Amino acid sequence: MPESKLILDYIYDHEAAHPDQVFLTQPVGDGQLTHYTWAQTLLQARCMATHLQAQGFAPGDRIAILSKNCAHFFMAELAIWMAGYTTVAIFPTETAHTVNFVLEHSDARLLFVGKLDLWEHQAPGVPVGLPCVAFPLAPRNDFDSWDAIMARTSPLTGRPARAPDDLAMLIYTSGSTGQPKGVMLDFEHITRATEGMVKDVSTKLGQGAPNRVLSYLPLAHSFERAWVEAASWVGGNTHVFFAESMDTFLQDLQRARPTTFISVPRLWLKFQQGVFSKMSPKKLDRLLSIPILGKLVARKVLKGLGLDQVRLAGSGSAPIPAELIAWYRRLGLNLIEGYGMTEDFAYSHNSTAAINAPGFVGVPLPGVQVRISAQGEVLIKSPGQLSGYFKRPDLNAESFTEDGFFHTGDLGELRADGLLKITGRLKELFKTAKGKYVAPAPIENLLNAHPMVELSLVSGVGQPSAYAMVVLAESLRPQMIEPAIRTQVQAALGELLQSVNGQLPDYEKLRMIVVAPEPWSIENGCLTPTMKIKRGRIEALMAPQVELWYASHGTVHWA
């Protein structure tokens, strides 16, 4: 029986079958684009593979990439794999401290430096003497350049192969609590998971249907790495466009006109708030209710967002309010929620046309097994399962059940038809003075559904009752200097508090809503690179004021 294909085999097949098909489109500034065909992509990867092998690294050595999403990220990863090494990608927004930790912990032998906004702050984290290669779009530097290496190097020929159990990549978790952990993923597991992803997308778009995607979520994260990069390599029918910057994001979307678009809840919410900044929710709701006109308005809204060609829209990485999914579906965008982790290469659950519901993350993808433990924890066995944590055998032992299921740390419920609902994180549960556990995520989803709220956090460990802190919507924040507007917002948040509390049992009811003094961001350490809130960090910042809020009257406070 022939051995199963691995991801590199698919790539070589596409290189041979359609060398002149445009694969990657990269903005290079001033409205200019560079297109790379499959042949051009592989030629550059092959030349870089020759260069890497000439450095005398040992098989399996780790080669790191610190870059925003770009065509050369794809090429560098291919070069690393073809040369016999393992990729370590670092989030492009990480601090110098975390950059240093990942490079040192992974024993990285070389670093590719690419598109970056914060390089001057990150550079001190690069160990002295570590060889670096600069991508064409890298900040100013003195490193050997990608283009110079291309000019002087011959391509690696043939079809260099890797063993199924060779490590393809270490993905360092984004560290919402504690130090990042290096998740080890081998070629066998990423290939089998990616084959499942390609089948899932083909089922929804049609077998062999051309696909266009915009790559903008961090490629250092498993979600984008799996469902965009790896899926484009295995499927072979995807044209990948890259975003130039957050400032040009809408233009980048308009250029790509993606047929598949995946995002995280915070960005889906920001898109909605962008629409609401131009038209009030009540007016839009009224227009959408009018026959014929409603469809025209919905189409115009989606076109304005660059999403009018999208046939498959997905949300993942964190819980998304069910009301937000319902809002997009009313516009005609069939937004579905999926579920996956770094530890299963983002291959776990997805919704189908027949089985889906707002608030549920879908049914198990082919080959995935799921069960709920006695403690309510979701346990998963996936074709994309990690082979362990790098240099952390202590974690390996406690991460799996005796029969090989992975402890996700997520709390969930299974419906009779197989739909899974994530109800929170095991470690996020906290007790108030009432002695009962509070699960913050479902309450946060109720708060986040309000158009005035961008993000929220529910806390209150050991307090008489829980409280919520909210970040106001971006369009509202500048208006808070106006006393009349501030008064209106205060009243609306008071009504929101009553509405949310009306849906909660007594022991979960919120004592108050506190308005955050500034938005939470990756830069101020309150969000992870994948835009999850860092609870411990935010709670520590607010700790000095918490007792004052509880002691004072009123249900809405300004931090």
Instruction: Give yes or no for residue 99 having a pLDDT over 70.
Output: yes
Q: Is residue 270 part of a domain?
A: yes
| 344, 476: one domain | no
DSSP state, residue 480: G
| 65, 199: one domain | yes
- pLDDT (0 to 100) of residue 462: 85
> Angle at Cα 190 formed by Cα 319 and Cα 94, nearest 5°?
55
Which of 181-190, 216-225, 433-442, 461-470 reaches the highest mean pLDDT? 181-190
- pLDDT (0 to 100) of residue 63: 98
> End of a domain among 401, 426, 451?
426
Of 421, 427, 463, 467, the C-alpha closest to 442 is 421
**What is d(CA 277, CA 295) in angstroms, rounded to the nearest whole number?**
20
Instruction: Render pLDDT for 348-378 as a digit per residue (tens, 0 to 9).
Output: 999 887 888 888 999 999 999 999 999 999 9
| 220, 293: one domain | no
| 292, 371: one domain | yes
| 460, 401: one domain | no
The pLDDT of 14-20, averaged and rounded, is 97
- pLDDT (0 to 100) of residue 2: 42
Q: Is residue 32 part of a domain?
A: yes
Residues spanned by the domain of 470:
429-558
Q: Is residue 370 part of a domain?
A: yes
> End of a domain among 171, 198, 225?
225
The pLDDT of 265-270, averaged and rounded, is 86
DSSP state, residue 309: T
SS3 435: coil
Q: Which amino acid is at 434?
A: K
Which of residues 369 and 324 earns the better pLDDT score?
369
CATH number for the domain harbouring residue 54: 3.40.50.980
Q: What percent of the chain shows pLDDT beyond 90?
A: 72
- pLDDT (0 to 100) of residue 1: 32
| Letter string b/e over residues 523-550, b meaning 16 or more CB atoms within 10 A of that residue's CB | eeebbbbbbbbbbebbbebbeeebeebe
Q: Which amino acid is at 20?
A: D
| 407, 456: one domain | no
- pLDDT (0 to 100) of residue 359: 82
- pLDDT (0 to 100) of residue 177: 54
Q: Is residue 235 part of a domain?
A: no
**What is d(CA 399, CA 408) in angstroms, rounded to the nearest whole number?**
8
Which pLDDT band, with edges at 50, 70 and 90, does 68 fall under? very high
| 161, 271: one domain | no
- pLDDT (0 to 100) of residue 109: 98
Instruction: Give yes or no for residue 480 having a pLDDT over 60.
Output: yes
HEC profile of 150-170: HHHCCCCCCCCCCCCCCEEEE
Q: Do 445 and 321 touch, CB atoms closer than 8 A?
A: yes
| 363, 457: one domain | no
Instruction: Give yes or no for residue 530 having a pLDDT over 80.
Output: no
Q: What percent of the chain shows pLDDT beyond 70?
A: 99
- pLDDT (0 to 100) of residue 444: 92
Instruction: Render pLDDT for 273-310 as a digit per residue (tens, 0 to 9).
Output: 889 988 999 999 999 999 999 999 999 999 998 999 99
Strand-pair partners of 215: 242
The pLDDT of 492-502, averaged and rounded, is 95
| 97, 120: one domain | yes
> End of a domain among 179, 201, 225?
225
Instruction: Give yes or no for residue 212 having a pLDDT over 80.
Output: yes
Cβ contacts of residue 239 below 8 Å, gap of 6+?
A: 22, 23, 24, 25, 210, 211, 212, 213
| 291, 171: one domain | no
Instruction: Render pLDDT for 427-473 as a digit per residue (tens, 0 to 9).
Output: 888 888 878 888 898 899 899 989 899 999 999 988 889 999 999 99
CATH number for the domain harbouring residue 482: 3.30.300.30
| 113, 125: one domain | yes
- pLDDT (0 to 100) of residue 114: 98
- pLDDT (0 to 100) of residue 506: 87
Q: Which two tokens stand for residue 188?
A: 């066998």
Instruction: Give yes or no for residue 178 having a pLDDT over 70.
Output: no
Q: How many domains does the chain have?
A: 3
| 491, 554: one domain | yes
pTM: 0.88
